[in-house]
Structures are given as structure tokens and as C-alpha cells.
Amino acid sequence: MRALVISDTHGLLRPEVLTLASEADALLHAGDVGQPEVLGALRAATPGPVYAVRGNVDREAPLTELPETQLVELGGVWVYLLHDLHALDLSPAAAGIRVVISGHTHAPKLEERGGVTFLNPGSVGPRRFRQPVACAWLYLGAGEVRAQSLTLLP
């Protein structure tokens, strides 16, 4: 299973993201969607399911109806999705979660801690804080987890 992981679109949906979404088995959006049309376009482009959580800028309906967190099983692996990693209020390893995905900082980051992969794909929305425009691929299956960062604009 190959999932495209994005965050912080802030209402901007780049054509490159739609192209990548069309190649994904699933799409995970870690919040700050910005505009409901973004999710509609991602759902239309992605052959598989689209999972999204609410970020701090998602203050208008229907985005306010997005959950703050989501726990999904992809390729036999439990993945926990939230916007701000500082809001993580559980022990992923104790809960059997192998991947924690967050956004918010706009800074791509990938690290392994205690058998759990922590992935922030960065932001694919408007460039902020001198960060690259980035997303990630997440490969899941047979209990294996591998992530690959993808810089769209350095």
C-alpha cells in the first residue's frame, strides 16, 4: 500500500499534488485544509480513501466537522493522524500504533522513536517560514513501514 501524506494546504491545491494523489492507494491530510474544495478535489483525484483531520485554520463548516484525530489501518499497519504533534495524548507504542502523522509546523520531519515512525510531511500549501513545499510517500504492508519525503519546491 502506498499512501500520499500531505498537510497544511491552506486552501491551495497544487497540480503536482493532484498528480501524486492519482497514483496513491490512499491519501492522508494532516490538517489545515483551508477550503472544503481542496478535499473534494483530492477525493476526486485519489483512487482510494482520503483521510483528513481538522487543523487550527479549519474554522468554518464543513471543515469544522473533520475529526481532530483519526486512527486508520492501512496495509495491516495502524496509523494515527493529527494536526499538531504537541496534542498527542497517548502512547503510540502502547496502543499498537506504528505511524504517527502530524503537520502544523510546515517543516518536513521523519524520525523513528521506540518502534514508532513519526512523520511530518511538511506543507504543500503556500510557502511559509522559508520551508520547502513538501509531502511524503508512506509505504505500508506486511507489518513494514517505510516513508519517503518528497520536495516539490526547495
Q: What is the pLDDT of residue 129?
A: 81
Every domain of the chain and the residues it spans: 2-153
Mean pLDDT by 10 residues, the chain (154 residues): 98 97 98 97 98 97 97 97 97 97 97 97 93 97 93 94
Burial of residue 131 (number of CB atoms within 10 Å: 0-12, 13-18, 19+): middle
Q: What is the pLDDT of residue 101?
A: 98
Pull the grid cell for residue 20: 501524486
Preceding amide of 67 cis, omega within 30: no
Torsion of CA 152, 124, 51, 138, to 10 degrees: 30
Q: What is the pLDDT of residue 78?
A: 97
Interacting residues of 146 by C-beta distance below 8 A, sequence separation 6+ = 138, 139
Q: What is the CATH number of domain 2-153?
A: 3.60.21.10
> Kind of pairing, strands 77-82 and 99-101?
parallel
Query: What's the CA gap between 73 and 9, in Å, rounded?
Result: 24
Q: What is the pLDDT of residue 143?
A: 81
